[in-house]
């Protein structure tokens, strides 16, 4: 469960880098009911915030890195972004954006893990993170597809102190590694790692990648809105025992995300 107390190592924020900010804002408004609030002088191209029922759920901005694909970036809360940066370097990761301050709001850095999975951290100041999580139309889970789960466990265990609990997927679907922040009980699980061969990781050219899972009231209806607004579906909708009904989707710029109606069990 993701909550807004944002203990160290837990997801606290996410934002989307899009080639067309206005188009992305319209898509997620149609699919998740988000309202887009431009920042600065109000020009959509400069990015801004998504809100649901008045609460901030995510950020949106233009792609700034040449050759980068449109994708969601997940941020994890840390007490010291500089210390985390040193841990990333010791563990074999890459610093993509060195720690920098955003006024009194907090301090941010972005990295790649040794398998190419991109993620970010946020050292909170006056801003702790998203205002709405674990509710319909907000972040519910985070997931890493990687060609080497064992290597990912070593890296994220060293860098973010995560604990892992493996479970076998039904029907011989492989092993799924559940992620919990260090020192937290099982109900604070916030994500999972799934091993996939490099040839199945085409979105990131064979590299690992993170994506968000969004809570929705009706998975099938959400999938209908995805396709009606120009997105596509990679998998599903399908039922996952003990989890709920889910689908893996792409927005019109091929940024991937999952919609999930959690099980009521």
| Domain contains 192 | yes
Domains of the chain: total: 2
Range of the domain at 252: 138-262
Residues 60 and 151 in one domain: no
C-alpha pair distances (Å), 81 with each of 88, 95, 109 = 10, 11, 7
User: What is the model's pLDDT at position 25?
Assistant: 96
53: which 2 tokens? 């029922």
Weakly modelled stretches of the chain, pLDDT under 70: 40-45, 265
CATH of the domain at 56: 3.10.180.10
Residues 251 and 155 in one domain: yes
pTM of the model: 0.95
Q: Domain boundary at 76, 99, 124, which?
A: 124
Residues 19 and 99 in one domain: yes
Residues 257 and 150 in one domain: yes
User: What is the model's pLDDT at position 44?
Assistant: 42
What's the sign of the alpha-carbon dihedral 238, 207, 124, 19? negative
Residues 223 and 115 in one domain: no
Q: Domain boundary at 124, 154, 174, which?
A: 124
Three-class SS string for the chain?
CCCCCCCCCCEEEEEEEECCHHHHHHHHHHHHCCEEEECCCCCHHHCEEEEECCEEEEEEEECCCCCCCCEEEEEEECCCHHHHHHHHHHCCCEEEEEEEECCCCEEEEEEECCCCCEEEEEEECCCCCCCCECCCCEEEEEEEEECCHHHHHHHHHHHHCCEEEEEECHHHCCEEEEEECCCCCHHHCCEEEEECCHHHCHHHCCCCEEEEEEECCCHHHHHHHHHHCCCEEEEEEEEECCCEEEEEEECCCCCEEEEEEECCC
Residues 146 and 105 in one domain: no
Q: Domain boundary at 76, 96, 124, which?
A: 124
Three-class SS string for 65-88?
CCCCCCEEEEEEECCCHHHHHHHH
User: What is the model's pLDDT at position 265?
Assistant: 57
Residues 104 and 182 in one domain: no
Residues 246 and 169 in one domain: yes
């Amino acid at each position: 469960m993701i909550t807004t107390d944002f203990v160290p190592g837990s997801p606290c924020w996410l934002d989307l880098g899009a080639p067309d900010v206005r188009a992305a804002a319209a898509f997620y408004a149609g699919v998740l009911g988000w309202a887009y609030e431009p920042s600065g002088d109000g020009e959509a191209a400069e990015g801004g915030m998504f809100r649901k029922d008045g609460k901030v759920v995510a950020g949106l901005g233009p792609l700034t890195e040449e050759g980068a694909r449109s994708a969601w970036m997940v941020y994890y809360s840390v007490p010291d972004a500089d210390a985390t940066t040193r841990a990333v370097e010791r563990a074999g990761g890459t610093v993509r954006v060195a720690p920098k301050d955003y006024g009194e709001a907090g301090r941010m850095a972005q990295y790649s893990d040794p398998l190419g999975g991109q993620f970010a951290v946020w050292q909170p100041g006056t801003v702790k993170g998203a205002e709405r999580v674990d509710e319909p139309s907000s972040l519910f889970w985070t997931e890493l597809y990687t060609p080497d789960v064992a290597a990912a466990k070593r890296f994220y265990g060293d860098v973010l102190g995560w604990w892992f609990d493996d479970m076998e997927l039904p029907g011989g679907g492989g092993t799924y590694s559940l992620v919990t922040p260090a020192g937290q009980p099982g109900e604070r699980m916030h994500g999972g790692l799934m091993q996939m061969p490099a040839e199945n990781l085409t979105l990131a050219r064979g590299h690992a990648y993170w994506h968000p899972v969004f809570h929705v009231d009706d998975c099938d209806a959400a999938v209908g809105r995805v396709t009606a607004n120009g997105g596509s579906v990679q998998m599903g909708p399908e039922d996952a025992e003990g989890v709920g009904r889910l689908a893996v989707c792409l927005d019109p710029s091929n940024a991937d995300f999952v919609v999930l109606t959690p099980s009521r069990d």
